[in-house]
Amino acid sequence: MKTVITSKGNNQNASFDLRFGRAGWFCVVDDASGKPSFIENEQADATGGAGVKAAEKMVELGVQKVISGDFGPKAKELLEKFNIQMVIIQGENQSIKEIISQLIN
């Protein structure tokens, strides 16, 4: 199963990004191996529709779960349509590494 964690940077020491559509990077984690890979969010600075585009990306990547600080209504609608679980956490000061370790254990 694939999970995405929104991240401010492109490595495991980067902090968690509370924003979904405007997140800098998407950290894709393979739950079985715990191995992360990072994809840049090309739509982070879009004038509008960043959330929809991020949700579109999740479906494209075949992700089953997304961990972020919150999800806007348009992104939520699309993610729900494809049965992608949305997990909201308050972890602004957490690093991606810490979140992954919680996810695996």
Partner 1 sequence: MPFKIAVASGKGGTGKTTVAVNLFHLFSKEHTPKIQIIDCDVEEPNDVLFFPNAKFSSEQTATQLIPEIDNGECTFCRKCVEYCEFNAVVVIPPVKFAEVNASLCHSCGACVVACEYGAISEKPEKIGTIKHYRIGPHSIISEGRLKIGSAMQTLLIKQVKQEALMDMDVIIYDAPPGTSCPVVETVADSDYVILVTEPTPFGLYDLKLTVELLKDLRIPFGVIINKAGLGDYKVHEFLLHEHIELLGEIPFHRNYASQYAKGDIFANIPGEIETQYKSIIQKLMARSPQNEGDYHFKR
Nearest to 58 by CA among 32, 72, 34, 39: 39
Q: Supply φ then ψ for residue 104, to 5 degrees.
A: -75, -40
Nearest to 66 by CA among 48, 89, 50, 45: 89
Task: State the CB neighbour count (10 A cutoff) for residue 58.
Answer: 23
Of the two residues 61 and 104, which places its CB atom closer to partner 1 in the complex?
A: 61
Report the nearest approach of partner 1 to the CB of residue 46 (Å). 6
Q: Is 83 in the site for partner 1 (CB under 8 A)?
A: no
Q: Is 28 in the site for partner 1 (CB under 8 A)?
A: no
- x/- letters, 30..69, toward partner 1 (CB under 8 A): -------------x--xxxxx-xx-xx--xx-x-------
| CB-CB contact of 49 with 23 (8 Å) | no
Q: Is 89 in the site for partner 1 (CB under 8 A)?
A: no
- Say how far apart CA 71 and CA 104 lie, in whole Å: 23
Of the two residues 34 and 49, which places its CB atom closer to partner 1 in the complex?
A: 49
Residue with tokens 């939520």: 76
Of the two residues 45 and 105, which places its CB atom closer to partner 1 in the complex?
A: 45
**Which spans of this chain sit near partner 1 (rule: CB under 8 A)?**
43, 46-50, 52-53, 55-56, 59-60, 62, 74, 78, 82
